[in-house]
């Protein structure tokens, strides 16, 4: 009975969405195949946009320093040949031009294809296999090309104040990754909200062959980019540390000190229950005459003594105390 | 200082250039080039109260004249050459500079200098040590070995020390594109990290008899990074090869420090003793610690793509690397009275060969159907030499060799992943995808689980019925097995024991969470709706539920949920407002058993289970809960003349640990109840108001007010002093444990509360 009461509203929801989608405007059918008309024709009607585009890197290359016939086409390289558009007297969506506006109705695949003609190498090599591509993200969801913004032509601007720098990239990624954006404001954090790091320092949003679209081949190799001192190898390794830094740390931000996922000593107690002392759930202050205060509960907890927890190269460092 | 003056001089010169130009000029004409740019400068008065370390954790907010931003563009009139220079926070500890130049479409050169301060604790920590390049000496020692002696001595002799780091990063990158097919890249980066941070060290044979000496770790790291690569992209294919090298050098890789509790003498007059005795003041005169060893990493990566028949694309990558480390081993101990055990090698000859292979096929042959399959192999092949320690080790510079026979086993692991995804455009507005993944983890000996397999599968829906409506829903179920979990697996490869002997000291039911059988459910939902042209609503929900069904002892489960909502609304042409709210809660459960024998009539450790030893079984549960709010508004008070931005951010986080049941430790006369820890709470507010008034086409007056406050309650940190021996006790009890009374700490409380009001009054000049 419960399933019936869930299914009925679900059906109505889908029906409503379908009707909504069906009422969306459809593109008119094209006439004869279009041909290229040249930049000057585009400029005649779209002068302000042309002027802004000419100040971007792509604009400088296409309009002033083209290296081949494809780049010489400039505007029509991305928007498609414009003869039908011109013949019809212009207008939004007229003449089969590819538009990149949010309300254009174009699929991400159609919008991305002009970009991928050139940008399917380097950091974009893995785009077609990426999670973002499979979720129907368009390049223009993150980038804007018609005017100069940030160095990466992101759709948002970096906000620079004397009190700090708020990078455009964090706002762009934060459009969808709401939880991660909120985590950056946690007490223990890396310097992203201060503008010293950005998401793409660790992740490649265009795709990579690595988990979570990381730039490096493993989580640890990613962290070693800045924290090379922990790379080792060590004489005495701490295996869960070697496998993944995220066994203990939450890199996006944590309410616990040192980006720890779980407050210590419980973090260590999750694994180290059987050996020696840490299993005792000691109080911070003594509860009775026979139970004294616990050095495991205050200050740096287990690392008050076991400070070399990432690994030790000392012959006597088996217990990570030397 | 000289560097800062040079930068300020440059800033002044650029300002002078501006004043030489006509006021109405948008840019400066210099022959074949045009010059444009801007400079902003102003003063930052402030009022602060409390410990503001956290305020400037990663930034520098001085009460002086600052140059928040400086930009310079040199453009050739032929539009073929460019030079850009920009700097942020010129002359401050968090300054950064970027110089970029090149020819469009051919060559790009970039030089970056960035400084990142990292403050842990300022004006709070104290230490009695004289610190000199990794050699820490004590100019005096306690008059005796009682807790009171140590207390009086450390309070009289500890001197302030700031705990902070500075990271200086320099990068030079070049990209050369002789034609659209070829791309060559090169880069060099240098990272210098210097400063001090706190870490723990101690003397003593066991957790029952010790004296902690919390130290300041000397940090002086230098890392050189090199990148060289080339790539060619043809019609339907590409191939690239890249080399990455990283050379890390620790300029202070050894730390020795005096033992304050050896009261036989100072410096060279101190007498080493093999026997550690707190009361008698004997034991090692000093300890010696091996800080992070210098190391190198070299990686070659080959990647390529190819368009295959039937609308199939192949994307592949192969990467092979070396991680090397051969710092000479320190002696087992710095204690001259202890006989050094033997060791079979002088260094590790550390050699790890990480290998990664990825092959992915993407197919779009059938209309509206997208297929993807991939295989990934990652091998962490540790070829470091095995080291034999036939006499055992020396524990904390005292006693005799432990007598165990250790043969280290370089830990290796390999991970394989296979995945299939099929997505179908059901309608123009609905795409459904089904995904399957398999992960096999193989661990060499030294961990409890040799092999595990994890299967994951689930659907994804992307629903976009109109251009202004978007829903994304994904669910993933993962099941990981751990049939071969064996607590005795690392025997005979690291220690001279049989697996059965190792199991005697382990709990049969314990499962370490990263190797345990696990069932995971992960659900994500995201929506973005723009019902009006000037209104966008967004929201999301992220949920992860991990359960460990075979972990009777260990982590039982953890759950994370995080709903978010937000909006952007521009009701008027001159007014827009935005807001975001996120709540996250992370819960975990743990079950454990006391380890020492006898409590509650429990059997020996290897036979002890939660069922036969309920009296000593205790449970702990924790939850972290965080609320995050952001609100803001952009107002054009006078169009194109006066703009105002208001922004408020708030984060409230709490971390609770509750425990129940009974436990016992060495020295306890019986079972005692497991106790809760006081909740950790931290609260952060930030308010920013910024106005810009365009006085003239090229001149803008900028006003700003910034409020930031932070408060934190962490009982384990807030109570810290340099001597903790007199921690409050109930009547009749010991005033302190003998070991804590003989220990010294830095007493840093970096999470102190503060309030800061900072203003800004400045000018921005553009030309």
Note the pLDDT tens digit of each residue in A164-194.
899 999 999 999 999 999 999 999 999 999 9
Residues of chain A positioned with their CB less than 8 A from the CB of B147: none
- The band of A289, judged by pLDDT with boundaries at 50, 70 and 90, is very low
Contact present, B401 and B367 (Cβ < 8 Å) = no
CB contact under 8 A, A316 and B42: no
Indicate the residue of B330, B539, B588 with minimum beta-carbon distance to A262: B588
Residue B35: beta bridge partners? B28, B74
Residues of chain B positioned with their CB less than 8 A from the CB of A165: 88
Radius of gyration in angstroms for the set of CA atoms belonging to chain A, rounded to a whole number:
28
- Mean model confidence pLDDT for chain B: 90
How many whole angstroms separate alpha carbon B560 and alpha carbon B524?
12
pLDDT digits (tens, 9 = 90+) for A34-88: 899 999 999 999 999 999 999 899 999 999 999 888 889 999 999 999 999 999 8
Quote the tokens at residue B91.
């002359």
Give the closest residue to A287 by CA, choosing from B671, B618, B672, B680. Answer: B672
Question: What one-character-per-residue DSSP string does B146-204 give?
Answer: SHHHHHHHHHHH-EE--EEEEEEEEEEEEEE-SSSSEEEEEEEEEEEEEEEEEE--EEE
Residues of chain B positioned with their CB less than 8 A from the CB of A225: 246
pLDDT digits (tens, 9 = 90+) for B252-305: 999 999 999 999 999 899 999 999 998 899 999 999 999 999 999 999 999 999
Least Cα separation, residue B449 to chain A (angstroms): 12
pLDDT given at position A25: 41
How many whole angstroms separate alpha carbon A322 and alpha carbon B287?
8
pLDDT given at position B661: 85
Q: Flag whether pLDDT at A27 surpasses 50.
A: no
Q: Read off φ and ψ for residue A77, nearest 5 degrees.
A: -60, -40
Q: Flag whether pLDDT at B499 surpasses 90.
A: no
CB contact under 8 A, B370 and A242: no
pLDDT given at position B2: 44
Contact present, B555 and B513 (Cβ < 8 Å) = yes
Please report the sign of the dihedral spanned by the C-alpha atoms of residue B47, residue B50, residue B53, residue B54.
negative
CB contact under 8 A, B104 and A263: no
Least Cα separation, residue B289 to chain A (angstroms): 5
- Listed by number, the residues of chain B in 138-177 with a beta carbon closer than 8 Å to a beta carbon of chain A are none
Residue of B nearest to A255 (CA): B653
Query: What's the maximum distance between 2 C-alpha atoms anywhere in chain B?
Result: 94
Higher-confidence residue of B535 and B124: namely B535
CB contact under 8 A, A209 and B376: yes
- The band of B393, judged by pLDDT with boundaries at 50, 70 and 90, is very high
CB contact under 8 A, A315 and B330: yes
Q: Is A97 exposed, middle or buried (0-12, 13-18, 19+ CB in 10 A)?
A: buried
CB contact under 8 A, A178 and B624: no
Higher-confidence residue of B446 and A195: namely A195
pLDDT digits (tens, 9 = 90+) for A269-287: 888 875 556 556 666 555 4
Tell me which of B154-158, B182-186, B637-641 is least confident: B637-641
How many whole angstroms separate alpha carbon A205 and alpha carbon B560?
24
What is the predicted ipTM?
A: 0.92
Indicate the residue of B487, B651, B730 with minimum beta-carbon distance to A288: B730
Q: Flag whether pLDDT at A218 surpasses 60.
A: yes
Indicate the residue of B348, B427, B655 with minimum beta-carbon distance to A263: B655
pLDDT given at position B6: 45
pLDDT given at position B492: 54
In this prediction the pTM is: 0.91
Task: Kindly state whether B675 is in contact with chain A, defined as any CB-CB distance less than 8 angstroms.
Answer: yes
How many whole angstroms separate alpha carbon B447 and alpha carbon B236?
46
Q: Choose the most confident range, by mean pLDDT, from A116-130, B11-25, B356-370, B749-763.
A: B356-370
Mean pLDDT within B540-565:
96
Higher-confidence residue of B205 and B488: namely B205
Indicate the residue of B348, B540, B651 with minimum beta-carbon distance to A233: B348
How many whole angstroms separate alpha carbon A145 and alpha carbon A117?
15
Test the B interface: residue of A13, A179, A240 with most B CBs within 10 Å: A179
- The band of A15, judged by pLDDT with boundaries at 50, 70 and 90, is low
Q: Flag whether pLDDT at B19 surpasses 50.
A: no
Indicate the residue of A297, A303, A315 with minimum beta-carbon distance to B329: A315
Residues 6+ apart with CB under 8 A from B487: A274, B448, B502, B503, B506, B507, B508, B510
pLDDT given at position B30: 83
Q: Flag whether pLDDT at B5 surpasses 60.
A: no
Instruction: Give the percent of chain B with pLDDT over 70.
Output: 92
How many whole angstroms separate alpha carbon B12 and alpha carbon B410?
58
pLDDT digits (tens, 9 = 90+) for B567-582: 999 999 999 999 999 9
Indicate the residue of B674, B677, B740 with minimum beta-carbon distance to A284: B677
What is each CA distance from B15 to A162, B34, B38, B260, B764, in whole angstroms?
18, 16, 9, 58, 10
Indicate the residue of A209, A284, A319 with minimum beta-carbon distance to B317: A209
Q: Flag whether pLDDT at B717 surpasses 80.
A: yes
Least Cα separation, residue B19 to chain A (angstroms): 23
Q: Give the strand pairing for A164-166 and B677-696.
A: unpaired
Counting Cα atoms < 13 Å in the Cβ hemisphere of A278 gives 19
Least Cα separation, residue B712 to chain A (angstroms): 9
Question: What one-character-per-residue DSSP string does B35-81 give?
Answer: EEEEEEEEE--EEEEE-TTTTTSS----SSEEEEEEEEEEEETTSSE
Mean pLDDT within B332-358:
96
- Mean model confidence pLDDT for chain A: 85
Q: Read off φ and ψ for residue B136, nearest 5 degrees.
A: -105, 120
- The band of B125, judged by pLDDT with boundaries at 50, 70 and 90, is very high
Q: Give the strand pairing for B553-572 and B535-547.
A: antiparallel
- The band of A292, judged by pLDDT with boundaries at 50, 70 and 90, is very low
CB contact under 8 A, A316 and B393: yes
Q: Name the 3-class secondary structure at B253.
A: coil
Q: How many CB pairs under 8 A join A and B?
A: 470
**What is the rounded end-to-end Cα distance, in angstroms, of chain B?**
29
Mean pLDDT within B434-453:
92
How many whole angstroms separate alpha carbon A105 and alpha carbon B422?
24
pLDDT given at position B615: 81
Residues of chain A positioned with their CB less than 8 A from the CB of B311: none
Q: Flag whether pLDDT at B726 surpasses 80.
A: no
Query: What's the maximum distance between 2 C-alpha atoms anywhere in chain A?
Result: 95
- Exposure string of B78-112, with b = 16+ CB inside 10 Å and e = fewer, is ebbbbbbbbbbbbbbbbbbbbbbebbbbbebebee
Residues 6+ apart with CB under 8 A from A305: A321, B200, B201, B202, B207, B210, B212
Q: Give the strand pairing for B135-137 and B254-258.
A: parallel
């Amino acid at each position: 009975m419960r399933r019936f009461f869930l299914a009925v509203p679900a059906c109505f929801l889908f029906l409503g969405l379908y009707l909504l989608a069906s009422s969306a405007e459809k593109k008119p059918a094209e006439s004869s195949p279009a041909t290229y008309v040249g930049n000057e024709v585009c400029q005649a009607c779209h002068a302000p946009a042309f002027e802004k585009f000419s100040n971007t890197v792509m604009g400088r290359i296409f309009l002033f320093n083209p290296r081949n016939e494809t780049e010489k086409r400039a505007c029509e390289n991305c928007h498609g040949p414009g003869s039908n558009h011109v013949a019809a007297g212009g207008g939004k969506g007229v003449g089969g031009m590819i538009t990149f506006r949010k309300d254009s109705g174009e699929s991400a695949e159609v919008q991305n294809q002009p970009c991928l003609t050139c940008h399917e190498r380097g950091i974009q090599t893995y785009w077609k296999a990426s999670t973002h591509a499979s979720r129907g993200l368009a390049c223009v969801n993150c980038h804007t090309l018609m005017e100069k913004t940030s160095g990466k032509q992101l759709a948002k601007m970096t906000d620079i104040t004397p009190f700090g720098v708020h990078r455009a990239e964090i706002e762009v990624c934060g459009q969808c990754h709401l939880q991660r954006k909120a985590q950056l404001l946690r007490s223990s954090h890396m310097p992203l909200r201060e503008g010293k790091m950005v998401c793409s320092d660790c992740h490649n949003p265009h795709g990579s062959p690595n988990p979570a679209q990381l730039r490096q081949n493993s989580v640890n190799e990613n962290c070693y980019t800045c924290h090379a001192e922990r790379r080792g190898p060590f004489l005495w390794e701490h295996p869960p540390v070697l496998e993944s830094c995220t066994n203990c740390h939450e890199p996006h931000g944590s309410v616990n000190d040192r980006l720890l996922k779980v407050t210590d000593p419980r973090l260590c107690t999750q694994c180290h229950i059987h050996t020696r002392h840490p299993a005792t759930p000691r109080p911070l202050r003594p509860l009775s005459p026979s139970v004294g205060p616990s050095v495991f509960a205050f200050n740096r907890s287990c690392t008050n003594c076991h400070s070399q927890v990432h690994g030790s190269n000392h012959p006597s460092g088996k217990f990570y105390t030397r | 200082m000289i560097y800062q003056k040079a930068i300020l001089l440059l800033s002044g010169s650029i300002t002078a250039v501006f004043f030489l130009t006509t006021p109405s000029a948008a840019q400066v004409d210099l022959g074949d080039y045009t010059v444009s740019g801007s400079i902003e400068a102003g003063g930052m008065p402030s009022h602060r109260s409390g410990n503001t370390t956290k305020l400037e954790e990663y930034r520098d907010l001085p009460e002086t004249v600052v140059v928040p931003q400086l930009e310079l563009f040199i453009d050739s009139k032929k539009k073929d050459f460019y030079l850009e220079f920009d700097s942020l926070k010129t002359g401050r500890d968090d300054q950064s500079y970027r110089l970029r130049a090149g020819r469009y479409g051919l060559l790009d050169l970039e030089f970056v200098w960035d400084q990142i301060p990292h403050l842990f604790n300022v004006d709070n920590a104290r230490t009695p040590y004289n610190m000199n390049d990794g050699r820490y000496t004590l100019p005096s020692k306690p008059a005796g070995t009682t807790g009171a002696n140590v207390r009086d001595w450390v309070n009289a002799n500890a001197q302030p020390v700031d705990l902070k780091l500075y990271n200086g990063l320099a990068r030079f990158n070049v990209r050369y594109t002789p034609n659209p097919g070829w791309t060559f890249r090169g880069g060099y980066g240098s990272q210098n990290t210097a400063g001090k941070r706190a870490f723990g060290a101690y003397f003593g044979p066991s957790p029952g008899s010790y004296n902690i000496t919390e130290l300041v770790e000397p940090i002086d790291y230098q890392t050189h990074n090199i990148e060289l690569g080339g790539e060619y992209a043809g019609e339907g294919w590409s191939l690239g090869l890249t080399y990455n090298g990283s050379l890390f050098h620790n300029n202070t890789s050894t730390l020795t420090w005096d033992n304050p509790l050896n009261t036989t003498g100072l410096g060279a007059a101190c007498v080493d003793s093999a026997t550690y005795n707190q009361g008698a003041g004997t034991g090692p005169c000093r300890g010696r610690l091996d800080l992070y060893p210098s190391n190198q990493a070299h990686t070659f990566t080959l990647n390529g793509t190819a368009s295959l028949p039937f609308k199939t694309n192949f994307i592949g990558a192969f990467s092979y690397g070396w991680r090397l480390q051969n710092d000479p081993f320190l002696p087992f101990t710095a204690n001259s009275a202890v006989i050094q055990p033997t060791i079979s090698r002088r260094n590790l000859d550390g050699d790890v060969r990480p290998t990664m292979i990825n092959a992915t096929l993407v197919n779009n042959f059938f209309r509206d159907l997208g297929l993807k399959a991939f295989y990934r192999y990652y091998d962490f092949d540790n070829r470091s030499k095995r080291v034999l320690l036939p006499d055992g080790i020396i524990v904390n510079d005292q006693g005799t060799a432990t007598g165990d026979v250790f043969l280290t086993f370089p830990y290796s692991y390999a991970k394989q992943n296979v995945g299939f995804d099929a997505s179908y455009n059901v309608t123009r507005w609905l795409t459904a995808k089904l995904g399957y993944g398999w992960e096999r983890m193989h661990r060499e000996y030294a961990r409890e689980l040799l092999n595990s397999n994890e299967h994951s599968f689930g659907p994804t829906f992307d629903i976009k019925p109109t251009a202004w409506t978007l829903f994304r829903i994904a669910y993933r179920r993962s099941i990981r097995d751990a049939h071969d979990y064996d607590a005795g697996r690392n025997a005979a490869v690291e220690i001279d024991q049989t697996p059965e002997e190792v199991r005697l000291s382990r709990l049969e039911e314990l499962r370490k969470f990263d190797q345990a059988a696990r069932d995971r459910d992960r659900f994500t939902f995201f929506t973005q709706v723009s019902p009006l042209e000037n209104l966008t609503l967004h929201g999301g929900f992220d949920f992860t539920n991990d359960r460990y069904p075979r972990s009777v002892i260990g982590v039982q489960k953890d759950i994370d949920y995080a709903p978010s909502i937000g909006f952007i609304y521009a009701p008027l042409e001159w007014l827009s407002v935005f807001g975001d709210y996120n709540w996250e809660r992370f819960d975990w459960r743990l079950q454990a058993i006391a380890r020492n024998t006898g409590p509650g009539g429990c059997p020996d450790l290897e036979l002890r289970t939660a069922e036969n030893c309920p009296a000593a079984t205790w449970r702990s549960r924790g939850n972290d809960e965080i609320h995050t709010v952001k609100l803001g508004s952009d107002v054009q008070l006078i169009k194109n003349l006066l703009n105002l931005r208001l922004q408020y951010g708030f984060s409230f986080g709490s971390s609770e640990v509750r425990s129940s049941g009974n436990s016992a430790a060495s020295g306890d006369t019986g079972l005692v109840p497991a106790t809760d820890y006081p909740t950790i709470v931290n609260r952060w507010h930030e308010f920013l108001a910024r106005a810009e008034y365009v006085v003239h086409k090229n001149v803008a007056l900028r006003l700003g007010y910034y409020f930031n406050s932070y408060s934190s309650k962490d009982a384990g940190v807030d109570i810290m002093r340099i001597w903790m021996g007199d921690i409050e006790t109930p009547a009749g009890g010991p005033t302190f444990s003998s070991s804590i009374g003989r220990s010294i700490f830095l007493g840093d409380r970096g999470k102190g509360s503060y309030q800061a009001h900072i203003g800004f009054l400045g000018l921005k000049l553009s030309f």
